[in-house]
Amino acid sequence: MRRAALAVAGLLVFLNVPFAGPAVAATQQVMMQDYAYSPAALTVRVGDTVTWMQHDQAPHDVVTTSAPVAFRSPQLSAGQSWSYTFRQPGTYQYYCSVHPDMRASVTVLPAPTTAPPSTAPRSTPPRTTAPQATTGKPAAAVPVTTPSATTPPATTPAAAPAAEPQPAVQATAATPATLDPMLLVAGLVTGIAVLCLLLLSSRRA
């Protein structure tokens, strides 16, 4: 029974609570070969790391010429590398101070934000249920008061006006018939949980 309860609880949490994993920083590489940077144009995000690999016999370095944050690497010999982690978005243009013809750029995009999508759907269900509660109250109050006041004087004439407001009540009651999707999901989950418990109990019996 404990395993069945844990399985049902895990199913409920999986269906109702969306999982958003943390963003993982990436590592990009730029080759310094044949007196050129490859690739010459690179696009990364905030938090990503770029590693420059030196494959030429002549020394090279990485020096920014126009960037939100300036940086300069030491001179790298063949087989050496140097890494830099970008913390601020923008366009970083750089070159090799030993060989000024070697030029390239790195475009840093802002980190993606996941908070706004999660808050938007949570605020919508209360707004849809509020008008249903208000429309139901006046519709229920009108037919209850009118038949009780008209039925004591006469039986047959009072039945005719009482039958006329009924379509209006049915029309207003038909509008809140649309159920919240979350209620449908909750009903489906509870039904699955009950079926699982019934299957487990029947197997043990």
What is the per-residue pLDDT for 116?
Answer: 53
Select the highest-mean-pLDDT range: 25-29, 68-72, 181-185.
Answer: 68-72
Rounded to an integer, what is the distance from CA 46 to the centroid of its chain? 20
What is the per-residue pLDDT for 195?
Answer: 84
Contact between 147 and 82 under an 8 Å Cβ cutoff? The reply is no
Contact between 68 and 90 under an 8 Å Cβ cutoff? The reply is yes
pLDDT band at 5 (very low <50, low <70, confident <90, very high): low
d(CA 180, CA 193): 20
Cβ atoms within 10 Å of 166's Cβ, excluding its own: 10
Overall pTM > 0.75: no
pLDDT, averaged across the chain: 74
Residue with tokens 């944050």: 69
Contact between 62 and 86 under an 8 Å Cβ cutoff? The reply is no
Q: 31 or 157, which is more confident? A: 31
What is the per-residue pLDDT for 68?
Answer: 96
Position 112 pLDDT exceeds 60: yes
What is the per-residue pLDDT for 126?
Answer: 56
Position 78 pLDDT exceeds 90: yes
Contact between 164 and 130 under an 8 Å Cβ cutoff? The reply is no
The model's pLDDT over 32-64, given as tens digits with 9 standing for 90+, comes to 999 999 999 999 999 999 999 999 999 999 999
Ranges 10-14, 26-30, 39-43, 139-143: which has the least confidence: 139-143
